Structure 1
Amino acid sequence: MTLFDRLKSEAARDWADYTGHEFLRQLEAGTLPLAAFRSYLIQDYLFLIQFARANALAAYKGHTLDDLVAGQRGLTAIIEETELHVRLCAGWGLSRDDLNAAAEHPATIAYTRYVLDAGLRGDLLDIHVALSPCTIGYAEIGSRLKPVLEDNPDHPYAEWISEYASEPFQETAAQAAATIEELGERFLGDPAANPQRMASLTQTFSTATRMESAFWQMGLDLGAAVQEAESPAQA
């Protein structure tokens, strides 16, 4: 069992809640309200800016050239990912400047600063474990949702699903898992021989995973608030 698989197994309930959240069930069915998706996407753009900083921190904390390359690779992938958000938001008349000017939701602040704090107080393994639920989780979600596009090529969220199901993103996730395995050998060793460190890593992973679920819920809650605010005008 790889270190990532072990972490995922230890946090199985949290992982299931995250990857099977109601937000995703509605997105898969194509019934997710646009207001919820738009609210989520704006916040996810802001999230990615902080996530890029966390990858830059990982590069800074690197001990070897390979560590620096891994950090640079993660930083580049995150910056490129923001282009999806800019493209989709442009369809709603929102520019990159509009996205940059948006206020961070408390859920966005809580999650991103938690990841950055994990990196600041810990080592390379700690920060990559904190980053992993997002990168590897989105790849798992994209792969699982990909078949819905075969039956419904006009799916309202086809571009989002395609992004995370794509070969480049899947490769990024595979590299992230491989990095955790390599760092585990360097900074952890045998988990059974270092139970306190393993418990700490599991706590970091579980917390970041629960924050992913909270991020989906934020999208649903903001979308509902937008719909409620607009309903009197439609009456």
Structure 2
Amino acid sequence: MTLAAQLWTDNADVVAEVLANPFVQGIGDGSLDRDLFAGYIAQDAFFLESFARAYGLAIARSADTDSLLSFAELLNGVREELRLHASYAASWGIDMAGVVPATATLAYTEFLLATAATADLAVVCAAMTPCMRLYAHVGTCLDADAAGPYAQWVQTYADPGFDEVASVLERLLDRLGDDTPAVRTAYRRAMRLELAFFDAAFKAGD
């Protein structure tokens, strides 16, 4: 089993929590409150800009051509996600200007940026892979029954093209990383921060 596959398997408990989260369930069946989704889109756009900056730091720190080009490809993928968010903002009237990041959003972005700036590239990959693989998995799991206003969101992440982008990052992790405590800690922390991000999006209406 590859390193990326082993880490994914070892964090199956968090994956199950994410799939059971009421925010994720509400996206899947279309029942999620529109205002909660709008707030999530604004927070996720803020997050994705930091995710892009983390890729930029990884590009600058890449020691070989293959890594540099792979991170550049991944950065381009973030641009496509941001375009999706911009289209939602335009069609749903979501104000993307001056987004105030929630506590869960800041916790995640600060972790990613600090890791990308200071840690080994293997640890950087471990910190960034859960976001990509988890969204691909969520999209695939929800796709068969996706209905209502969020079907486009589900289909975006269920698309094989997104899965391939996630695989690019996993292959980087496998090539650059070893099964070390630092790699495992970064991966696990990112998974927990993903769960906290969805949880905060749902509780924003409380």
TM-score normalised by L of structure 2: 0.94
Q: For residue 82 of structure 1, what is the aligned residue in structure 2?
A: 82
* Unmatched runs of 5 consecutive residues or more in structure 1: 192-197, 226-235
| Partner SS for 1:101 | coil
Question: C-alpha separation between the residues in 2 aligned to 1:69 and 1:211?
Answer: 27
Question: C-alpha separation between the residues in 2 aligned to 1:218 and 1:91?
Answer: 24
Letter in 1 for 2:182: S
> Please, which of 203, 210, 227 is the counterpart of residue 192 of structure 2?
210
Moved more, 4-13 or 49-58: 4-13
- Aligned counterparts, 1:92-131, within 5 A: 92-94=92-94, 98-131=95-128
Q: Do structure 1's residue 59 and structure 2's residue 59 form an aligned pair? A: yes
CA-to-aligned-CA distance 1:24-45 (integer Å, 9 cap, x gap):
1121121111111111111000
Report which of the two structures shows the higher radius of gyration computed on alpha carbons.
1
Question: C-alpha separation between the residues in 1 aligned to 2:66 and 2:140?
Answer: 28
**Does the aligned pair in 2 maintain the 1:43–1:104 contact within 8 Å?**
yes
CA-to-aligned-CA distance 1:14-63 (integer Å, 9 cap, x gap):
23223432211121121111111111111000000000000111111101
CA-to-aligned-CA distance 1:190-220 (integer Å, 9 cap, x gap):
x4xxxxxx22211111111111011101111
Moved more, 9-18 or 159-168: 9-18
CA-to-aligned-CA distance 1:109-165 (integer Å, 9 cap, x gap):
11011011122221111111100111111011111111114xx4xx22011011111
**Does the aligned pair in 2 maintain the 1:111–1:211 contact within 8 Å?**
yes
Q: For residue 38 of structure 1, what is the aligned residue in structure 2?
A: 38
Q: For residue 23 of structure 2, what is the aligned residue in structure 1?
A: 23
Letter in 2 for 1:212: E
Would you identify which runs of 4 or more consecutive aligned residues in structure 1 move more than 4 Å?
none
Q: For residue 138 of structure 1, what is the aligned residue in structure 2?
A: 135
Letter in 2 for 1:126: V
**Does the aligned pair in 1 maintain the 2:50–2:109 contact within 8 Å?**
yes
Letter in 1 for 2:4: F
Equivalenced residues, count: 206
Letter in 2 for 1:163: T
TM-score normalised by L of structure 1: 0.83
Letter in 2 for 1:111: Y
* Unmatched runs of 5 consecutive residues or more in structure 2: none
CA-to-aligned-CA distance 1:156-178 (integer Å, 9 cap, x gap):
20110111111221210121211
- Aligned counterparts, 1:2-13, within 5 A: 2-13=2-13
Letter in 1 for 2:117: L
Question: C-alpha separation between the residues in 1 aligned to 2:19 and 2:113?
Answer: 23
**Does the aligned pair in 1 maintain the 2:42–2:96 contact within 8 Å?**
yes
Q: For residue 221 of structure 1, what is the aligned residue in structure 2?
A: 203
Question: C-alpha separation between the residues in 2 aligned to 1:48 and 1:156?
Answer: 22
Q: For residue 233 of structure 1, what is the aligned residue in structure 2?
A: none
**Does the aligned pair in 2 maintain the 1:48–1:78 contact within 8 Å?**
yes
Letter in 2 for 1:140: H
Q: For residue 228 of structure 1, what is the aligned residue in structure 2?
A: none
Q: Do structure 1's residue 158 and structure 2's residue 155 form an aligned pair? A: no
- 1:71/1:219 CA distance change after superposition, 3 Å: same
